[in-house]
Amino acid sequence: MLLITCPYCGARPESEFRCGGEAHIARPPQPGNVDDTAWADYLFYRTNPKGVHAERWLHAHGCQRWFNMLRDTASDQVIGIYAMGKSRPDRPKT
């Protein structure tokens, strides 16, 4: 059981949450202007790393708010939690 610290409610069991998949996938601002390959990449292609993964979580059976999480997919260990809209904390800022 993962213990997940919702930034709004505190530490709660995994079963209250729902994972929303990889984070920071930006929708192309003008979908009409990208080709099919770029659109498919946005919709379907994923990084799927073994190691640190940035992903979105929803506190579905709690405050119902979304947040981001860094988790190691090899060990399932939660590394960090940060708000929606913030950039990935382990990436150098540009």
Partner 1 sequence: MRYSILSVLSQALQGNTGWKPVWRDAELKPAYDIVIVGGGGHGLATAFYLAKEHGLTNVAVLEKGWLGSGNVGRNTTIIRSNYLLPGNIPFYEWSMKLWEGLEQDLNYNAMVSQRGVLNLYHSDVQRDAYARRGNAMRLHGVDADLLDREQVKALVPYLDFDNARFPIQGGLMQRRGGTVRHDAVAWGYARAADQRGVDIVQNCEVTGIRLEGGRVVGLDTAKGFVRAGKVGLACAGNSSRVAALAGLRLPIESHVLQAFVSEGIKPLIDTVITFGAGHFYISQSDKGGLVFGGDIDGYNSYAQRGNLPAVEDVCESGMALMPMIGRLRLLRSWGGLMDMSMDGSPIIDKTPIEGLYLNAGWCYGGFKATPASGWCFAHTIARDEPHTLNAAYRLDRFATGHLIDEKGAGAQPNLH
Q: Interface with partner 1 by CB under 8 A: which residues?
A: 1-2, 13-15, 18-19, 21-22, 36-37, 39-41, 43-50, 53, 55, 71, 73-76
Contact 20, 66 (CB under 8 A): yes
Does residue number 6 form part of the binding site for Zn ion (CB under 5 A)?
A: yes
> Which position among 4, 17, 23, 59 is part of the footprint of Zn ion (CB under 5 A)?
59
| Residue entry with tokens 């790393």 | 49
Instruction: Identify what 18 binds: Zn ion, partner 1, none; CB under 5 to 8 Å per kind.
Output: partner 1
Minimum distance of partner 1 from residue 8's CB (angstroms): 20
Nearest by Cα to 20 from 73, 69, 90: 69
Query: Minimum Å distance from CB 14 to partner 1?
Result: 6
User: CA 23, CA 11: separation in Å to the nearest integer?
Assistant: 21
Amino acid occupying residue 62: G
